[in-house]
Every structure is written in structure tokens, then in C-alpha cells.
Amino acid sequence: MVMSNLVHRQANVQVESNNKIIVNNLNKRLDEKKGRWAEELPFVLWADRTTSKVATGQTPYSLVFGMEEMIPSKVVIPIARYLLQNQEKNDKILFQDLDTIDELRDLAKIRIVAHQQRITKAYKKYKS
């Protein structure tokens, strides 16, 4: 779970929202396995971090690291995308991704603002 921030109230709301999503997803996975939440938590966190969010249009992983994640099963059972990579080629691609991460984050910020405006408009329409 994510720790709350006492200084920034909005951050607390976001943390609580994220925690609620994690708990709900854990509950869905624990129908018969009630006492095994600790074993299921890494899978739930991975799923949450690698799922595109509506507000940003990106995964949290890609916003942090500047590239899409590779599902572990694709490494264990290699696909062509993984097999055809060599270290030099991979380093070049990673370097290019680092150059574009700021642009990716800026686009995500724009999408968040647009998403918040849509929510505000819908809320005001609902209230009136």
C-alpha cells in the first residue's frame, strides 16, 4: 500500500483511491484463498502498475521508466521481440526513450487536466 502524505491533502485522496483499487483487486483474487493475500499482492501491484489509466492514457510504469514493461512470461517463454534484441540495439532504444519521457509526461499532464475538466463538468451537470 502507498503511504499517505500529511502535507498535501489531494495526495492523500489519490493515495486512498489507489489503496481502494488495490484492496478491491486483492479481494477479487482471494475468493477461496482468504489467508494468502501476501502471496497475491505482487501480482495485483504488477497488474495495477501496468494497466493504462484513463486520466493519463499511460501506465504508471511507463511514466516512471519511460518505456513499456515486458510481461515476465515473455522473458521466460521468449517471443520474437525479445529474441531479436541485442544489448547495443536495446541500449540505443532505451536512450531514445529517455529523450522522449518528458514529452510523454507532459502529454499525460494535459490528459489529466482534460479528464479533470470532464469530471468537473459532469459533476456540475449532475448537481444542477
What CA–CA distances, in Å, run from 17 to 2, 5, 14, 24, 61?
10, 13, 5, 11, 18
To the nearest 5 percent, what fractions of the chain are helix, strand and coil? 70, 0, 30
Q: Which of 51, 60, 53, 63 is nearest to 106 (CA)?
A: 63
Q: What is the pLDDT of residue 17?
A: 81
Q: How far apart are alpha carbons 62 and 81 in whole angstroms? A: 18
Q: pLDDT 10s digit of each residue in the chain, 128 long?
A: 445 555 666 667 777 888 888 888 888 888 767 778 888 888 888 888 888 888 888 888 888 877 777 666 655 666 666 666 677 877 777 777 777 888 888 888 998 899 999 989 988 888 87
Residue type, 104: L
Distance (Å, rounded) from C-alpha 112 to C-alpha 94? 26
Q: pLDDT (tens digit, 9 = 90+) per residue, 92-123?
A: 777 777 778 888 888 889 988 999 999 899 88
Predicted structure pTM score: 0.52
